[in-house]
Structure formats: C-alpha cells, structure tokens
A and B are shown apart, each in its own frame.
Chain A
Amino acid sequence: MHVRTIGIFFGVIMILGGARAGAHHSWNTVFSEDKPLVLRGTLAKVELVNPHGWIWIEVKDADGTVMRWGIEGGPPNNLIRNGITKDTLKLGEELVVRGYGARDGSNLLAGVKYERADGKEFWLGNDGAEALAKARGDLK
C-alpha cells in the first residue's frame, strides 16, 4: 500500500496559542552567521547546565595573549545519560571549535562543530544513537 507522505514534520513546529513561534531562544538575537569563527584552544572550564551547556577554552592569539572564549552548546541531560560528566571531560585538552560569534563582539561562540586533537568529535557526535544503545550506566 502506497502512502502519500506529506511532510512528516518534527511534530513540534506549531504555533502555540500564546507564544511566538521559534526555538526556545532565538539564537539570532545573540549570535550572527556573519561571524563564522574557528577557535583553537585548550579546555579551561565546563559548565554542564540547562538549558545550554557551556565550555570555556583558552585561545592564544598571534602575539601570545591568552583569551577566554565561552562556547554555548546544547542541553547536558542526554550527555549525562550517556556517561559524560563533569569529571570525564579533560581540562587542558586541545580543541577546535567552529561556530558563530556573538553579535555584540563579546568572546562568545555558538558552537557548531567541536573536534578533539585526534580529530574525533568532542561530544557524542552522530554516534549519539549508538552510544545510547551501548551506555547503560548505573545513574538512576
């Protein structure tokens, strides 16, 4: 039987009666795609909080000055359910993060791609689904 598929939507793009459409926060009020950036640095701090996890990396610019950049990421709950905790992330490790900078020029990035020194993805990457199947930690 042939089913005519009409846009299987994400199930969530609906206009709630009172609220405005869009993501829970419009990233575009904070960040701009006119500011694509590649940051190479070392991991200095991790804040696994909702709604956005943050990592801070130290980036050395051309004349050796060290700048701290905050990188806004996604929610931490599924990371934690997959065994990533504040203790499993290695401070001092080298990272390359690609994303978009803040409209107001502050040292903040909306992180899109995160890469370790060995080229592997820093968070779960697209293997998240497999990690879910594998990781059955004893976290309640």
Chain B
Amino acid sequence: MRPTAILVATVAFAAVLSVRPGEGQTYTAPRTAGGQPDLNGFWQALNTAHWDLEPHTAAPGPVLQLGAAYAVPPGQGVVVDGPIPYRPDALEKKKQYAANALREDAEVKCYLPGVPRVMYMPYPVQIVQSDSTILMMSEFASAQRTIYVGGKNSPPADTWMGWSNAQWESDTLVIDSRGFMGGTISALDPEGAIQVRFLDRAGNYHTDGLHVVERIRRIGPDHLSYQATIEDPNVYTRPWTISMPLYRRLEPGMQLGEFKCEEFVSDLVYGKYQKSPAR
C-alpha cells in the first residue's frame, strides 16, 4: 500500500467536498417562509456507493443469469478517511456476510435500508421540510425518516430508520441519529431473519451500536453536500466519514413513484412455506 498517496488523495477529496460552515461559502440557499435554508425537493446520489462505499473495481454480480445487468460497476469510493477501520473480528464477519449477501442483505428482502444507506440508494429521496420536522422519504420501500429539528429526546425504542435529532449550524443541517435496530426481531423465522445491517451491497455493515452524524447543506441551486460520520464500537475502531454530492431531480412534476417492493419479494421470503408462488 502507499499510505502517503492515500493520505494525499483523501485530503484532496475531503477538501473538495467537506465544506465547513463559515469556510469559503459562495452560495447562500434560499429560505423557507420559516427562515431556514430550503432543503425541500427531490435529491439523489449519482455514484456507486450503494454497491460499495470503498473504492472498487468492476466485478461479476452474484446472479449469473442477470449478466451485465447486475454486474458490479467500478467506483472511486466515498470514504474520506478510509479504509473503513474494521476491528479484526468484525472484518472477518464482514467477509462472511459478503459471501452470503443475497441472504443477509436487507435490500434483497425489501427491508428498510437504514441510515445513511437510504441517502445513496439509487432512488430519489424527497425532503419535505417544516420548521420543526423534516421528513426524508425514499422511493425505496416508502422508507421514511423523521428528523426532529431542535429535538433532544433519546430514542424511545429502536427502529430501522433510526431516531434523528437535528439542529442548524449556520446553513448546515446537522443530524444526530441513534436507536437503530441491529437486525430482525428475535422471534422472526430464519427465512426472514437478517443478522446485521448492510451499509452497501458489498457487506460493509453496522449493528445496533450505530451512531451517525450527518451534515447537509445546499452548495448550489441543484446540489447538496452530504456527509455522514459513522460510528459503531461493535464493528469499527474509530468513527469514519463518507462524503458525496446529492443531485436535484429537475423533471417538472417530479414525484416519488410507489415502489412497494414487499410485494415483489414475498414469494421469495415466504416461499418455503407455500405450496406454490402467489403470482
């Protein structure tokens, strides 16, 4: 490995995209009627983070018959301070989960994708913003995040999309999220159970120890800067950060489509206990 080169690349990458409040801002976002920077709209990532957060070369996909349509495209990665700092025992688990991804990955079963994964899946995310509450809704499985602006409560219970408290630091929305389910509930049949939560299709994962801090700000009329710092002492030796632009969906009349993928996977999930598929 060439640590110096990686360090240089990382710093340069970070400098491009990790915009800190008060540092070299040239764009002032329009305000909502309530006076907040306006994040309303449809936003989508245009990278391969959902395949693999780390730099990756192209590779065959897991299903031969899907051929090039589901092969792994190459990607430069979105980790600012990588490689992802796994604990040695967790890295071994990652390899096992990755080898069993079709069974272990929540995405396959149309389970809620969690945070930050929902923000870079290849589906639009709609932000609807009021002064006290910001909703971030993905087209995927109708996943919904409720962000409590000025919220201070601890999570009353664990959820798949986490519990998010946020505040504005100048024009940057800083979201602090905890209370993530680490997998399916204990009573669930093994046919539906997943043991950990994937952050991407490559098997990078987190447990219920996840803590995420995101920083989101407008950097132009049609772009957001999105960063997430990920911490999970069960898996990683230190926090680490991803960074990427999010692009506004500009189509007139843009709206989220209905993608109730639960319907598409139920024969897969319940198939063992059915005499024949439902469809």
Contacts and interface: CB of A to CB of B under 8 A. Distances in A.
- Do A and B come into direct contact in the complex, CB within 8 Å? yes
Interface of A: 45, 47-49, 54, 56, 70, 72, 76, 80, 85-87, 108, 138-140
Contacts of A48: 156-158
Closest 6 CB pairs of A and B: A48-B157, A85-B156, A80-B156, A70-B187, A47-B185, A86-B157
B274 interface: no
A108 B151 CA distance: 37
**B interface bracket (residues with beta carbon within 8 Å of A):** 10 to 19
A102 B155 CA distance: 31
A56 B159 CA distance: 18
B255 interface: no
Contacts of A80: 156-157
Nearest to B157: A48
A86 B155 CA distance: 8
A86 B159 CA distance: 11
Given A140-B132, A140-B148, A87 B186 contact: no
B153 A138 contact: yes
B237 interface: no
B149 to A, nearest CB: 10
B187 A49 contact: no
B170 interface: no
Nearest to B132: A140
Contacts of B133: 140
B154 interface: yes
30 contacts: A45-B186, A47-B185, A47-B186, A48-B156, A48-B157, A48-B158, A49-B157, A49-B159, A49-B181, A49-B185, A54-B185, A54-B186, A54-B187, A70-B186, A85-B154, A85-B155, A85-B156, A86-B155, A86-B156, A86-B157, A86-B158, A87-B154, A108-B187, A139-B153, A139-B156, A140-B132, A140-B133, A140-B148, A140-B151, A140-B153
A49 B155 CA distance: 12
A71 to B, nearest CB: 9
Nearest to B151: A140
Contacts of A86: 155-158
Given A47-B186, A49-B157, 10 more contacts: A47-B158, A48-B156, A48-B158, A72-B187, A80-B157, A85-B154, A85-B157, A86-B156, A87-B154, A140-B151
B132 to A, nearest CB: 7
A55 to B, nearest CB: 10
Interface string B136-153: 000000000000100101
Contacts of B155: 85-86
Nearest to A88: B156
Contacts of B158: 47-49, 86
A76 B157 contact: yes
Nearest to B160: A49
Nearest to A137: B153
Nearest to A102: B187
A46 to B, nearest CB: 9
Contacts of B159: 49
A72 B185 CA distance: 11
Contacts of B148: 140
Nearest to B150: A140
A139 B154 CA distance: 9
Contacts of A139: 153, 156
